[in-house]
Amino acid sequence: MKNNTLVVVLVLQAILVMGIVAVVNADGYVPKCCDNCNSFSGALVCDDTMDKCHPKCGNCVVVQEHPVKKYRCADAQAAGFVPCPPPCKKH
């Protein structure tokens, strides 16, 4: 019985990882710079907030409503193919 439980857990875990990797956008928008580049489950995401999303961003989410609306492009890139962009220069 323990072997069956272990197999079920491993299969479910593999399905979960495959689902996470499936949502990674290999051809999505990559910003020219990023101050908050994060990696998880084999994906890179730039968590910088901005006044508006780039037109090529496939998954733009609102992260702040007030006092000014701010957005974040939640496109993920496969970590094996795309390095983190360099930090943005502050003006």
Q: Report pLDDT digits (tens) over 51-72.
A: 888 888 888 889 888 889 999 8
3-class SS at 56?
Answer: coil
DSSP conformational letter for 75: -
Q: Report pLDDT digits (tens) over 25-49.
A: 555 567 788 888 887 777 788 888 8
What is the per-residue pLDDT for 80? 66
CA distance 66 to 47: 19
pTM: 0.55
CA distance 77 to 26: 5
CA distance 85 to 37: 8
